[in-house]
Structure 1
Amino acid sequence: MNAPLISQTWTDHVTGRRGFLVVDRLVRGVSSGGLRMREGCTLDEVAGLARGMTMKEALHYNAEGRYIPLGGAKGGIDCDPQDPEAYGILVRYLRAMRPHIENFWTTGEDLGLTQDIVDKAAAEAGLLSSIQAVYPLLDDEVAARQRLADAFAVEVDGIGLDELVGGCGVAESVLAALDRAGVAHEGTRVSVQGLGTMGGATARFLSRAGLRIVAVADVKGTVANPKGLDVEALLGARDAYGAVDRGVLRPGDLELPGDAWLSAEAEVLVPAAVSYAVDASNEGRITARWIVEAANMPVLADAEALLARRGVTVLPDVVVNSGTNAWWWWTLFGDIGADADEAFAYTRRSMRALIDQMLARAEADGSTPRAAAHAIVADRLPVIAERFGWYR
């Protein structure tokens, strides 16, 4: 694996907090990858996420599409997003990174940050937009920016389309895996870690597809019910950080420890919160048949090897949660319009095709789905480089 193109550590002169930027690769001179904020964020973590973004972009390469994948990058800030100093640190980080964002790094919301907060801080930092580096690649910048703004204004059942589309992609990944295995949707049990943007939307789409959400975890602990939770009630009782007001729980809903989601009796586990949630010390508690990585890097490599020996299939983050990033670009470049039904349909088709291709490759190679995804990326990166050139 090659070293990243850029690896940078920033120190806030006010608080001493550190931030990071890693640009793994440029395509047409531009890279794409969100900005996360969490206590304990490290340069190594951001580097891994940037490499993952290169893979996500390559996986969505379609020679016939208007959206042409970018390179991969990622930003990170070592700070609790609920810290009173967090917003000021974010503004100063973006101000320091302004030359990169103006020229070659497009970014947006990730763990711990919402797009509204990123947009507000970016404006305060003197930026036109957090994705302005891609504007020179657009055929009609004014129309493209308006289309994306219109898409961000779309709501479905009171939730923004931008918050829902990633969960739609995760849910479709689950459904594609079940279909390939001949397992009925109705009644299949699911446990979800995290009820924020990604986890909440995933739970909603899976519940509406007939699956039974039997456990969800947030910062307060795990809520469980083997007969199924009222997903809509839980979603309606979330705060800005995805924590559920326990006052909406029904008789029969159980309050359990925070890690109880891991050992829930379910066919599918969806880690949709933090990285490194499943390791060699806790993987033995898992009885599920599938782990579907809605979060970035939630299953450590040693745990994944142990799970594979037990017949547990891990669907990797680089495929599963790639829908949000792709939706931004599908919309901005004009493959789809600012319409929820069109966005969901396009996302479902694209994600199902990727999952099917990955699982077929894994079966043919006798490998894991992650290894198969990496193999597909290895095939596509030279094709992208041949068309657009190498920027290393």
Structure 2
Amino acid sequence: MTASPLLSLTWVDHITGRRGHLVVDRLVRGVASGGLRMREGCTLEEVAGLARGMTMKEALHYDPESRYVPLGGAKGGIDCDPRHPEAYGLLVRYLRAMRPYVESCWTTGEDLGLTQDLVDRAAAEAGLGSSIQAVYPLLDDEAAARRRLADAFAVEVDGIGLDELVGGCGVAESALAALDRAGLPYAGARVAVQGLGTMGGATARFLARAGLTVVSVADVKGTIANPAGLDVEALLAARDAHGTVDRGVLRPGDRELPGDAWLSADAEVLVPAAVSYAIDATNQEVITARWVVEAANMPVRPEAEALLSARGVTVLPDVVVNSGTNAWWWWTLFGDIGPDADEAFAHTRRSMRALVDLVLTRAQTDGTTPRAAAHAIATDRLPVIAERFGWYR
């Protein structure tokens, strides 16, 4: 991978003075893929790390036999609380300023703090035909591909959109693959999840339906815990648009605890699915879980991961675990799968399980962490992708 990104810029909003960032880490066939996040305190350094992660995610899903051709990696970020009254206008102005990049080389979509519906509405107001229009010239049949993706976004399963569920399906399958390799039965395995938004909520649902017990979930109001198991479906049904649970649905055995209590939950699997940098060198000390499964982007700081690894806690890295959402977009658009939930889940499960097994086997062989193994696999594949498809053409 390149030592520095191909493009790195910071935009300052002329109305609010708030900042937005765009980093294009790498192009393949002239296009890069990566979502747009909005959160208070978002920095250029954060966006650069996420863009590099997208380059890796694309490379890790490279299959020379599939129609989906990996793209380069990119990421956008806006420094604003998405709940702020200024947020939507700021989003529109950011996309209007980034329009030349979205039109030519950057395909983007929802990420932390933003939904796809909101991104689509703001993109239209900013004068864009689509947030992924840069990829259209790479499609064999653009009209058919766009219909297929639109149909897929219209699919709902038990009241939740397919686009919201596939990422959590991939995270859950990653955790299940790790449990299977360790010979740990699903029944009796306990899970704690930070964040019940798009990714965390779907992950909790798939793990609960697989037979695991979700004992703790956290949102902005705090942690909800029950050692006997939470009613995941009731909590999901009681969420607002930002993943905050209405406490009115809690049962007598459910307890309300401080916001960081999920970290020390008595559980085998810990799923940080909310914000970056949630686990640091200090608070990692309270973690007793066997696996930390990174559903969020960059939730574990490097120094914390080193300490966790030293005491036998395995961190399954974000570049593997949460890559299913991005891959599902392209599997659907390029035509590897159709707009069908069962097909999407089956393809996601097969692909994620194969990827996790590959990474964990490489880590075991090399005597390294899963993250180092994933980096090594991506580093091996990037020159192959560049030789076959080129960076810019």
What is the TM-score of this pair, normalised by structure 2?
Answer: 0.99
Q: CA deviation at 1:390?
A: 3.4
Contact 1:25 1:391 in 2 (8 A): no
Instruction: Tell me the secondary structure at the aligned position of residue 381 of structure 2.
Output: helix
Give the match for residue 182 of structure 2.
181
Contact 2:30 2:391 in 1 (8 A): no
Give the match for residue 235 of structure 1.
236
Uncovered stretches (5+) of structure 1, i.e. residues with no partner = none
Q: Deviations over 1:288-338 (max 9, x none)?
A: 000000000000000000001100000000000000000000000000000
Contact 1:195 1:217 in 2 (8 A): yes
Q: Deviations over 1:67-111 (max 9, x none)?
A: 000000000000000000000000000000000000000000000
Instruction: Tell me the secondary structure at the aligned position of residue 266 of structure 2.
Output: coil
The CA distance in 1 between the partners of 2:278 and 2:96, in whole Å, is 32
Give the match for residue 122 of structure 1.
123
The CA distance in 1 between the partners of 2:392 and 2:192, in whole Å, is 41
Give the match for residue 324 of structure 1.
325
Q: Deviations over 1:8-62 (max 9, x none)?
A: 1000000000000000000000000000000000000000000000000000000
The one-letter code of the counterpart of 1:12 is D
Contact 1:277 1:299 in 2 (8 A): yes
The CA distance in 2 between the partners of 1:315 and 1:233, in whole Å, is 28
The CA distance in 2 between the partners of 1:333 and 1:210, in whole Å, is 34
What is the TM-score of this pair, normalised by structure 1?
Answer: 0.99
The one-letter code of the counterpart of 1:267 is E
The CA distance in 2 between the partners of 1:267 and 1:206, in whole Å, is 12
Contact 1:9 1:19 in 2 (8 A): yes
Instruction: Tell me the secondary structure at the aligned position of residue 170 of structure 1.
Output: helix
The one-letter code of the counterpart of 1:103 is S
Give the match for residue 105 of structure 2.
104
Q: CA deviation at 1:391?
A: 4.2
Give the match for residue 44 of structure 1.
45
2:20 pairs with 1:28: no
2:166 pairs with 1:162: no
Q: CA deviation at 1:389?
A: 1.8
Contact 1:23 1:50 in 2 (8 A): yes
Q: CA deviation at 1:273?
A: 0.1
The one-letter code of the counterpart of 1:150 is D
The CA distance in 1 between the partners of 2:308 and 2:126, in whole Å, is 45
For residues 263-278 of structure 1, the aligned pairs below 5 Å read: 263-278=264-279
Give the match for residue 201 of structure 1.
202
Instruction: Tell me the secondary structure at the aligned position of residue 298 of structure 2.
Output: coil
The CA distance in 1 between the partners of 2:68 and 2:158, in whole Å, is 28
Give the match for residue 357 of structure 1.
358
Q: CA deviation at 1:388?
A: 1.2
Give the match for residue 58 of structure 1.
59
Instruction: Tell me the secondary structure at the aligned position of residue 270 of structure 2.
Output: strand
The one-letter code of the counterpart of 2:213 is R
Tell me the C-alpha RMSD between the 2 structures: 0.7
The CA distance in 1 between the partners of 2:112 and 2:279, in whole Å, is 17
For residues 251-290 of structure 1, the aligned pairs below 5 Å read: 251-290=252-291
The CA distance in 1 between the partners of 2:361 and 2:10, in whole Å, is 40
The one-letter code of the counterpart of 2:5 is P
The one-letter code of the counterpart of 1:82 is R
Give the match for residue 316 of structure 2.
315
The CA distance in 2 between the partners of 1:342 and 1:111, in whole Å, is 26
Uncovered stretches (5+) of structure 2, i.e. residues with no partner = none
Q: Mean Cα displacement is larger for which, 1-10 or 325-334?
A: 1-10
Contact 1:288 1:312 in 2 (8 A): yes
Contact 1:265 1:288 in 2 (8 A): yes
The CA distance in 2 between the partners of 1:390 and 1:271, in whole Å, is 34
Contact 2:55 2:73 in 1 (8 A): yes
The one-letter code of the counterpart of 1:46 is V
Q: CA deviation at 1:187?
A: 1.5
4+ residue stretches of structure 1 with deviation over 4 A? none
Contact 1:57 1:71 in 2 (8 A): yes
Give the match for residue 219 of structure 2.
218
